[in-house]
Structure 1
Amino acid sequence: MVATEVPLDDKRNASVSSAPNYNLASEHDAADLAKLGYKQELRRNFTMIEIFGIAFSIMGLLPSIASTLAYSIPAGPVGLVWGWFIASGLIFVVGLAIADLGSAMPTAGGLYWWTHFFASAKWRNPLCFLVGYSNTLGLVGGLCSIDYGFALMFLSVIVVARDGNWAPTNGDIYGTFLACVLCHGILASVMSKIMGKLQTVFVVMNFILIFATIIALPIGTKNRNDGHYIFAQTENSTTWPTGWAFMLSWLSPIWTIGAFDSCVHMSEEASNATKAVPFGILMSIGSCWFFGFILVIVIAACINPDLSSVMQSPFGQPMAQIYYDALGKNGTLGMMSLLMIVQFLMGLSILVAASRQSWAFSRDGALPFSKFFRPISQKFGYIPLRTVWGCVVLAAVLGLLSLIAPAAAQALFSLAVAGNNLAWLIPIMSRVVWGQAKFKPGPFHTGRFSIPIAWASIVFLVFGIFLSMFPVGGPNPTPSTMNYTVVINSAVWFGALIYYYIDARKWFTGPKITIDTDDLTEEQKQAIRDDGLEVKGLDGVTRAVSVSGSGSGSDALEKVA
């Protein structure tokens, strides 16, 4: 048995105001969070189904496929169909690795918290710092890319209505994007008390759109493509080798299904989090894998075989052209309007998740102006209101890329992929490289397959990071076709590490303990003691977390600075 002792920072850092736990969560959930050193500050008003709902609604299956057809269509139907199936299966493997950790240690800042817990003493602080910033940027980048996609869809409806006789400028696109982001900020602020229940509505709307497309496209298409075309036709409209064009088609599912960690960030608002988090992760990925495969088959069956005409559609959206070819003008306006609404709901859900990650990181003092972003708004329903608007402002700034060129705007899509992949990679790697002996499984665990699954995830995530940085069109890109993800992400990653080693290493010591015995009931205190966590109060809290050892039977104490 190995014990880990974590000394508390001073009383000033540890003391935060919150309502008593019994107003916010069940005894069991509050105790589980206390085992990680945090007291309950957010209201647990998300059920297991609603946690699945927020991840699935962020993924927004059909709108996301529509927004990323530019990655999959160049490889032809094989890239569209089999690229989806293979990449989604590999993402499910990553989901299993994250679900293992999420069930064992459910907290809003899970990814960087796990990194700090599992990594070696030498690397835990800088890696934790890096993961927190990469994850925060990745989520805000996801908000940017979703709302940018909404702007394109909204304007494409106007183009269709005007029969292609109008084209939006970059200014029009940014203005629509900015209005969308601001609307999301307002709705995330005032609708917090019913946000959990709204996720069920969002899921239903997603499925209405999915089934409407699956039914309407084949009925409206006069000359459907045959099975050979759908499953075996390979094309390459890039200047990359055909095999690499197929690999680039994986970016569509990688981006689409890249929001499953939202379940982790919502874990402090989930009832029965140790089960709800892995359920939400795996159900959202699995649903997208299955229904997405059906959707891309239908799209491949109904798409115009002249793929260049679809990619160069005057409507500005390949999916709008696919609808138009099958359903005509009125049908396209109806489907694209529904698509646009679901895309809008995706942005609202990811803003909620991004604000929770940002709040958790500010709770641990790592974000600039953490003291400002730290407070919880009781008036608006126990939500981190300030980080909601912090994410809105950051998204508005990053969205300025859309004013430069379409290629710069496309970096918003890859930005979310690279940022989140790194944030998933490092805690998984930290566990298997340094901290496997510390890992104590939760109610969900993959058993003896856990370590092989973790290593398979690491390999795939490293590949995904490199993939997201390649220019889609081919080698030797021009400034207008360059993939700027490598520039933006490298600036963030190296900037975070430089910031850490120059200044933050002097004060950042990883996650802070905020638990206080005054916030716990006797039942919660007993649950904590049963798990090996000893709480002595703000003036000297000692956290002793019992974890499985690997063999010698001797006890050891490891102080985490």
Structure 2
Amino acid sequence: MWAITLVVLSINVWCIKLLPVIELVAGICHVAFFVALLVPLVVLAQRSSPEFVFTRLINDQSGWTNPGITWCLGLLTVTWCFVGFDGAIHMSEEVRNSAVTVPRVLILTIVINGIMAFGFLLGILFCIGDVENALNTPTRFPIIEIFYQATGSKTAATVMETCIIIIAFAASFGNIASVSRLTWAFARDGGLPFSDFFSLVDPTYRIPVRAIGLVSTVIILLSLINIGSSTAFNAIISLSTVALYVSYIIPISCLVLKRFSGEKVVWGPWTLGRFGPTINVFALCYGVFICIFLPFPSQQPVTASNMNYAAPVFGFVILFGLTDWFVRGRKVYAGPRREIDLRQARELLPPGEQMISHLLSGLRKA
């Protein structure tokens, strides 16, 4: 993990111009590997019946006997795939015409990947083979066993799994770039401890090198925790999904409240039109539903090793944040700072001062 992190760190700092190329190649591989993985499954694997795919419920693996709870907990794995789709927003200050480009990217990402993911899901279910062998594989990764059952070759299964690893590795470049910008923006606004240090933009590379270093250091430290105790590691990373979904719920609930209270909403150049309220309400209900089940343990009976520590870890983070707020944050944090260019600054001035500003600019150029 630390070696991968150092490679990603190096690209994000010293070879930042390669990042768009890497993302483009990763996007092409994403589509190409989708076809390359699906075709062998469809051609070689033993076919399951439509009744098995669409009507059979397997709920005897986790210890939960209630089929409703089993279904809800099974949905959480899929939910993880929808975490971080707001990453493009974190890069918006480095995107041209971000008010239009970023929302378009968010929508197209969900639409395109949603279609591909559903197609791949159907392919996996129709070609899953022996379910018991897949679920109880020694590798602990059912997808590897599914590939092996379909092809009958360890080499082919290894190559197919390597395709997935390559895509995951490529995604790490964008992940660190996105999270580091979010970290930098929060530090710039005074929202982090040692904000003055982490908010610095390197004058040579013109990127937040210290924020990138902070994110990379945290990743390496987390990987070291996993060496000592996988239970402690899982307890910490269990925070990620529930924390992100809570962060999604807050702005969505504020928007829904404002829309239905009759207050005027100032829209940007991109809106969802008449579909907006319905989508907002659905997103809010879905987020609340997911946050209810995210802290549930995935297996019964519950032990120290399989316990879901998302709720207590989330509570600890909230407590830490509140402590930092009352001790330091409320004295320095005044809300997000908006950076504007000279033209935008002039538009905020009274008409007379706008004219003086234009004249002074002309004299400087002369």
Provide the TM-score with structure 1 as the length reference: 0.58
Q: State the AA in 1 paired with 2:288.
A: V
Kindly indicate whether residue 71 of structure 2 is the aligned counterpart of residue 246 of structure 1. Answer: yes
Residue in 2 that maps onto 1:8: none
Question: Of residues 185, 202, 208 in structure 2, which corresponds to 1:377?
Answer: 202
Kindly indicate whether residue 49 of structure 2 is the aligned counterpart of residue 226 of structure 1. Answer: yes
Kindly indicate whether residue 304 of structure 2 is the aligned counterpart of residue 304 of structure 1. Answer: no
Counterpart CA distance in 1 for 2:318 and 2:167 is 32
Which aligned pairs between 1:90-169 and structure 2 lie closer than 5 A?
A: none
Residue in 1 that maps onto 2:112: 287
Give how far 1:317 is off.
1.7
- Residues 364, 511 of structure 1: 8 Å contact kept: yes
Give how far 1:191 is off.
2.2
Kindly indicate whether residue 182 of structure 2 is the aligned counterpart of residue 360 of structure 1. Answer: no
Give how far 1:312 is off.
2.4
Q: State the AA in 1 paired with 2:141.
A: Q
Counterpart CA distance in 2 for 1:188 and 1:406 is 29
Secondary structure of the equivalent of 2:334?
coil
Q: CA deviation digits over 1:145-175, x for unaligned, max 9?
A: xxxxxxxxxxxxxxxxxxxxxxxxxxxxxxx
Give how far 1:304 is off.
2.6
Give how far 1:361 is off.
0.3
Question: Of residues 163, 168, 178 in structure 2, which corresponds to 1:343?
Answer: 168
Residue in 2 that maps onto 1:113: none
Give how far 1:387 is off.
0.5
Which aligned pairs between 1:265-280 and structure 2 lie closer than 5 A?
A: 265-280=90-105
Counterpart CA distance in 1 for 2:199 and 2:269 is 31
Give how far 1:398 is off.
2.8
Residues 1:401 and 1:467: Cα distance change in structure 2 (over 3 Å): farther
Give how far 1:265 is off.
0.6
Counterpart CA distance in 2 for 1:452 and 1:227 is 32
Residues 1:189 and 1:354: Cα distance change in structure 2 (over 3 Å): same
Residue in 1 that maps onto 2:277: 451
Residues 1:508 and 1:264: Cα distance change in structure 2 (over 3 Å): same
Kindly report the root-mean-square deviation, in angstroms, between the aligned alpha carbons of the 2 structures.
2.4
Residue in 1 that maps onto 2:361: none
Residues 1:465 and 1:529: Cα distance change in structure 2 (over 3 Å): farther
Residue in 1 that maps onto 2:362: none
Which aligned pairs between 1:471-490 and structure 2 lie closer than 5 A?
A: 471-474=297-300, 476-490=301-315
Give how far 1:401 is off.
4.2
Residues 1:377 and 1:296: Cα distance change in structure 2 (over 3 Å): same
Moved more, 483-492 or 436-445: 436-445
Q: State the AA in 2 paired with 1:198.
A: I
Counterpart CA distance in 2 for 1:473 and 1:250 is 14
Which aligned pairs between 1:476-515 and structure 2 lie closer than 5 A?
A: 476-515=301-340
Counterpart CA distance in 1 for 2:42 and 2:145 is 15
Q: CA deviation digits over 1:216-260, x for unaligned, max 9?
A: 112221x21111111111111122212111111222221112121
- Residues 178, 396 of structure 1: 8 Å contact kept: yes
Question: Of residues 495, 505, 520 in structure 1, which corresponds to 2:342?
Answer: 520
- Residues 22, 170 of structure 2: 8 Å contact kept: no
Q: State the AA in 2 paired with 1:479.
A: A
Residues 1:329 and 1:305: Cα distance change in structure 2 (over 3 Å): closer
Residue in 2 that maps onto 1:394: 218
Kindly indicate whether residue 255 of structure 2 is the aligned counterpart of residue 431 of structure 1. Answer: yes
- Residues 87, 178 of structure 2: 8 Å contact kept: yes
Counterpart CA distance in 1 for 2:297 and 2:274 is 39
Q: State the AA in 2 paired with 1:465.
A: C
- Residues 217, 323 of structure 1: 8 Å contact kept: yes
- Residues 405, 480 of structure 1: 8 Å contact kept: no
Secondary structure of the equivalent of 1:470?
coil
Residues 1:412 and 1:348: Cα distance change in structure 2 (over 3 Å): farther
5+ residue gaps, structure 1, are: 1-176, 538-561
Identity of aligned residues (%): 26
Counterpart CA distance in 2 for 1:510 and 1:286 is 33
5+ residue gaps, structure 2, are: 358-366
Counterpart CA distance in 1 for 2:27 and 2:20 is 11
- Residues 407, 483 of structure 1: 8 Å contact kept: no
Q: State the AA in 2 paired with 1:212.
A: A
Give how far 1:405 is off.
4.7
Give how far 1:369 is off.
1.2
Counterpart CA distance in 2 for 1:226 and 1:235 is 15
Kindly indicate whether residue 264 of structure 2 is the aligned counterpart of residue 442 of structure 1. Answer: no
Give how far 1:480 is off.
0.8
Secondary structure of the equivalent of 1:249?
helix
Residues 1:412 and 1:350: Cα distance change in structure 2 (over 3 Å): farther
Q: CA deviation digits over 1:247-299, x for unaligned, max 9?
A: 11222221112121111111111111111111111111112211111101111
- Residues 428, 454 of structure 1: 8 Å contact kept: yes
Residues 1:485 and 1:178: Cα distance change in structure 2 (over 3 Å): farther
Counterpart CA distance in 2 for 1:400 and 1:391 is 15
